[in-house]
């Protein structure tokens, strides 16, 4: 049964809520995008499941953990593949992206953008080559594509990495951005630092 109301609660930033916002945009789903200020956060913190954001509130019940939220939304709105094997491949790609995020802090100390994430970008490129469809898994937009796009956008916009030399990853970024609903969301998205 589809939720009656949804609120996505995070700071006034893209950060860890942006993957969920992109899924909701791609789904054309209505929700309340609650953006807390630093001043509002101390009062709101005790109301979160794990004393952190983002939080997804569904019909008044709150849930935490950014990847769990994004995965729920992707499954709810049809972005988790067309079979259990496709869902396994999507989750595998997402976990690879999480591994990259977990090593991200080391990249800030590397001055050459081409050397920051070559292992991961090579893996991403390999997955796209194996798929052969322009998408990470299957022949339509999935959570894996959105996760890769968000990661690449964040690293490139912050000048932490470059995807020069990774043509399939470049093409995927353009494919995600050209999705009509995501394109409209990106055009209206408020610019934030991160």
CATH number, position 10: 3.40.30.10
Mean pLDDT estimate for the chain: 92
CB-side neighbour CA atoms (13 Å) of 181: 12
Is the Cβ–Cβ distance between 96 and 124 less than 8 Å?
yes
113 and 162 fall within a common domain: yes
Please state whether 60 falls in left (phi above 0), alpha (psi between -120 and 50) or beta: left
Within a domain: residue 102? yes
Q: Which domain holds residue 147?
A: 84-179
Within a domain: residue 91? yes
Q: What is the mean pLDDT of residues 135-164?
A: 91
Q: What is the mean pLDDT of residues 152-174?
A: 88
Q: What is the mean pLDDT of residues 8-32?
A: 97
Q: How confident is the model at residue 3 (pLDDT cuts 50, 70, 90)?
A: low
Integer CA distances (angstroms), 113 to 154, 158, 161, 173, in order? 13, 11, 5, 18
37 and 95 fall within a common domain: no
Helix (H) or strand (E) holding 194: none
Within a domain: residue 108? yes
114 and 154 fall within a common domain: yes
Q: What is the mean pLDDT of residues 156-177?
A: 90
28 and 73 fall within a common domain: yes
103 and 43 fall within a common domain: no
Q: What is the pLDDT of residue 49?
A: 98
115 and 145 fall within a common domain: yes
Which residues does 25 contact at the CB level (< 8 Å), separation at least 6? 181, 182, 184, 185
The structural domain count of the chain equals 2
92 and 68 fall within a common domain: no
pTM of the predicted structure, to 2 decimals:
0.93
At residue 2, φ and ψ (nearest 5 deg) are: -65, 145
Q: What is the mean pLDDT of residues 1-11?
A: 86
73 and 91 fall within a common domain: no
88 and 174 fall within a common domain: yes
The CATH number assigned to the domain holding 91 equals: 1.20.1050.10
The single residue listed with the structure tokens 């991961």 is 120
76-127 pLDDT tens trace: 999 999 999 999 999 999 999 999 888 876 666 666 666 667 788 999 999 9
Q: What is the pLDDT of residue 101?
A: 85
């Amino acid at each position: 049964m589809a939720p009656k109301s949804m609120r996505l609660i995070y700071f006034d930033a893209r950060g860890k809520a942006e993957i969920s916002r992109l899924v909701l945009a791609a789904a054309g789903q209505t929700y309340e995008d609650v953006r807390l200020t630093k001043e509002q956060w101390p009062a709101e913190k005790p109301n979160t499941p794990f004393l952190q954001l983002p939080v997804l509130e569904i019909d008044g019940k709150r849930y935490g953990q950014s990847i769990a939220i994004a995965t729920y939304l992707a499954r709810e709105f049809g972005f988790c593949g067309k079979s259990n094997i496709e869902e396994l491949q999507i989750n595998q790609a997402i976990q690879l992206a999480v591994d990259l995020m977990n090593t991200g802090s080391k990249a800030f100390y590397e001055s050459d953008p081409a050397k920051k994430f070559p292992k991961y970008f090579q893996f991403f490129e390999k997955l796209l080559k194996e798929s052969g469809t322009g998408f990470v898994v299957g022949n339509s937009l999935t959570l894996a594509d959105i996760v890769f796009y968000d990661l690449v956008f964040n690293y490139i916009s912050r000048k932490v990495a470059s995807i020069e030399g990774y043509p399939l990853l470049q093409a995927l970024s353009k494919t995600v951005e050209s999705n009509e609903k995501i394109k409209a969301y990106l055009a209206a998205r408020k610019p934030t630092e991160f």
